[in-house]
Amino acid sequence: MKQSKLSILFPNQDQVVYQQLPAETWHDLGFDALVEKVAKQPQEIPLLERVMTSMTADPAVARFRADVFEDLHRYPDIRNRLMELLDHVKMFYDYGVVNRHAGDEAGIWDLMHRLEEYHDYILTVEAIRACLSGKELVSEGLIRLRETISEIYDSNGFAALRKDVEEMRTTASAVRSVTVGINVNDRFEAVNMGLVAVNGKPFTKSGLLKHFITAVTPGDEIVPEAEWSGTLSFSPAVPPAGIAAGMESLSKTSMIMRNPLIGLSLAGIPREDGSAEVPRQFDAAASQLLSRLVRRLKETLGRYLNISVRDISDLIPELLFYVRWAEYLEALEAAGWRFCKPQVREASSGSAGMEAAGFYNLKLIGSIPPDQAVPNDLSFDTEKRIYILTGANRGGKTTVTQAVGQLFLLAQCGLSVPAVSFAYDPVDLVLTHFPADEDQTMDLGRLGEECRRFRELYLRSTDKSLLLLNETFSTTSFEEGYYIAVDAIRAILQSGTRTIYNTHMHKLAYELDSAVNDPSLPGKAVSLVAETHDGHSSFRVRIAPPEGKSFARGIAEQYGVTYENLIGAHG
């Protein structure tokens, strides 16, 4: 049963180079808060983040994921059926074979859990096969998974595994108690122990207590010799090292059970008395006592060591990623929010180009109804490489800047995006430069910190990156900030990095042709403005000269602070 590596996230994982999305970008785009809504349990958050922050510009990966997500989004019954497996395979994935170190000694505890892992493996194969059968799939990932699972299921090895596992589970499940004989010396110290019987029924507490009291009460007869009739026999076990210490530890454990405060740390866990080792000590002893069962388990399970249980188990977190996002976006669509499947452009410009229509920021969800979200259109191409975005305070500049970054990150994870349509060239990284927190600027000052961070981002960016700047170089005087910004934009234009730079420096947008754009370079910086109408923000952006002067004039007239208004009011 040779099994190839299975994945529904990576078409060819070994051939793709990934880069880690900076933590600042994850926060600046609002995904740290967003994944808390997507996840159903806190422990799912790191998984979602790990997938989304591993970025590659390989278009094959983006297409592969988008097709898988489309299939799972179209067929809720597939994801619902597969998610039922999570409860069955939790130990299978978290604690079992997949995390065991090579060379670990397999005792009865390990073998029984391995038996259950193989049982869960069988359930997983059968469930995947059942729910993918007969579906009209479009994704290479799920089609490949269906074919591989069918090959596994139809093989002779799988049928043999299923038969052996069921037989061993039936045999093992019949064991409900073990009768153990312990020999003691004249000081009543345990010297060795052995197996008396393996029983199909558990002992009852009342029965054990009654027989023990009967055996040791003064005046009662102590049996002089340990002799049994019938089929009972004593099978001695070679005591594990430190059996006396184990017995002592077991005694201390009984004390802890009577008084929960004994031996507990602040976390409420036994620490110093070694009682945490009791299950392992019993495991070692039981493995020797139940030698025949252990031997049979080892022989049976040893025949299937070449089965890659981990490959199947690794599908579970990948599936969880897609399913949680499908559930979240499906609920938003039902509430009236619009999403679309992103399209990787066939004829790539090679530099993170895009054509986005009717897009919006995910952070608007929950704060306004869907019909109040203002959609925007924007494109990057060989001519438009840098946007200098200006407009009024609270006019939507940061919202649009964030939204573009969200589009790329969601699309490259294969997820539907908040837009009417989105065609793009994948980026190798999304980099953000948003205002620094006060506690990060104590040593260098705010301008110094901005300059340091910008230089790091610039040196990390390529012509396949997306750079989002939010009020960068705005913490100094206007003139100083302007001259620094001019040099920065010229350098970005030289490198070819796609950029949105939202700023209050309207002069920068006015003087792009004279101060920044160089006819010898491909592409140029373009003025993008957040529109206003009658002094009110429309939250739409369009390519146009800055509205700075006219907008200020409108505000002045609205509040009566023009020269004419002031003179007239005073007179």
DSSP per-residue letters across 82-107: HHTHHHHSHHHHHTSGGGPPTT----
* 198-212, 217-231, 557-571 — most confident range: 557-571
440-483 per-position pLDDT tens digit? 433 446 788 888 899 999 999 999 999 999 988 887 777 888 88
Torsion angle, alpha carbons of 161, 131, 40, 26, to 10: 100
Higher pLDDT, 337 or 471: 337
Q: Evaluate if residue 522 carries a pLDDT over 90.
A: no
151-191 per-position pLDDT tens digit? 888 887 888 888 888 887 777 677 677 777 788 888 877 77
Q: Evaluate if residue 322 carries a pLDDT over 60.
A: yes
> Which H or E run includes 71?
helix 59-74
H-state helical runs in 133-197: 140-154, 156-173
Higher pLDDT, 408 or 158: 408
With bands split at pLDDT 50, 70 and 90, how would you rate the model's confidence at 498?
very high
Q: Average pLDDT, stretch 371-385?
A: 94
Would the CA dihedral through 113, 114, 120, 123 be positive or negative?
Answer: negative
What mean pLDDT value characterizes the chain? 77
Q: Which of 63-77, 125-139, 403-417, 445-459 has the lowest mean pLDDT?
A: 445-459
3-class DSSP state of 32:
helix
pLDDT of residue 460: 95
pLDDT of residue 277: 46
Q: Are residues 454 and 472 in contact, defined by beta-carbon separation less than 8 angstroms? A: yes
CA distance 412 to 426: 7
Domain ranges for the chain? 13-18+56-174+304-319, 177-289, 338-570
pLDDT of residue 293: 64
64-88 per-position pLDDT tens digit? 999 999 999 999 999 888 877 766 6
Q: Evaluate if residue 529 carries a pLDDT over 90.
A: yes
pLDDT of residue 241: 47
Task: Output Rg (C-alpha) for the chain, integer angstroms.
Answer: 34
Higher pLDDT, 286 or 405: 405
With bands split at pLDDT 50, 70 and 90, how would you rate the model's confidence at 19?
very high
CA distance 554 to 546: 14
The CATH classification number of 338-570 equals 3.40.50.300
